[in-house]
């Protein structure tokens, strides 16, 4: 059995809002929303990967907090997603690799079409906001 690729996502919270990012690629996922992040590279910790991805995708430095929700198997079981709460420590988020960014309050989380793999985290996130 093939092990799923470990991916990490950042639920970047500011006040009572969380940052959501709209995918620009691949075409079948474009327009769906996610928590910024990406693949954990060999030899990299989950925290290191999350900080690197947020620098690359958003141009920001983050501080990483506790996990939000449990392990999520996504992408036809190809990926194992772990989402962490995070806070901005430097920079202003820019959509460097995404089609757009939005700050969402707890009652706005259902206003965007989330990637199916990110959706299970929303209930736990609502309680944090």
Tell whether pTM > 0.85: yes
Q: Minimal CA–CA distance to 26: which of 107, 127, 115, 108? A: 115
pLDDT averaged over the chain?
95
pLDDT digits (tens, 9 = 90+) for 94-106: 999 999 999 999 9
Q: Is the pLDDT of residue 18 over 90?
A: yes
Q: Is the pLDDT of residue 1 over 80?
A: no
pLDDT higher than 70, residue 71: yes
What are the pLDDT digits (tens) for 50-63?
A: 999 999 999 999 99
The 8-class DSSP code of residue 120 comes to G
Residue 23 near residue 98 (C-beta atoms within 8 A): yes
- Say how many C-beta atoms besides its own lie within 10 A of residue 87's C-beta: 12
Q: How much is the average pLDDT of 79-86?
A: 96
Per-residue DSSP letters for 16-76? TEEEEEE---STTTTT-EE-SEEEPPTT--HHHHHHHHHHHHHS-EEEEEEEEEEEEEETT
What is the predicted pLDDT for the residue at 3? Answer: 85
């Amino acid at each position: 059995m093939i092990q799923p690729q470990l991916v990490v996502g950042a639920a970047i919270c500011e006040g009572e809002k969380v940052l959501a990012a709209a995918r620009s690629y691949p075409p079948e996922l474009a327009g769906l929303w996610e928590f910024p992040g990406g693949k954990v590279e060999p030899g990299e910790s989950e925290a290191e990967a999350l900080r690197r991805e947020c620098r690359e995708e958003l141009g920001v430095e983050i501080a990483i907090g506790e996990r939000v929700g449990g392990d999520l198997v996504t992408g036809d079981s190809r990926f194992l997603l772990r989402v962490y709460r995070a806070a901005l420590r430097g920079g202003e988020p820019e959509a460097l690799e995404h089609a757009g960014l939005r700050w969402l309050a707890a009652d706005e989380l259902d206003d965007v079409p989330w990637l199916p793999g990110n959706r299970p985290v929303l209930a736990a996130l609502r309680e944090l906001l």
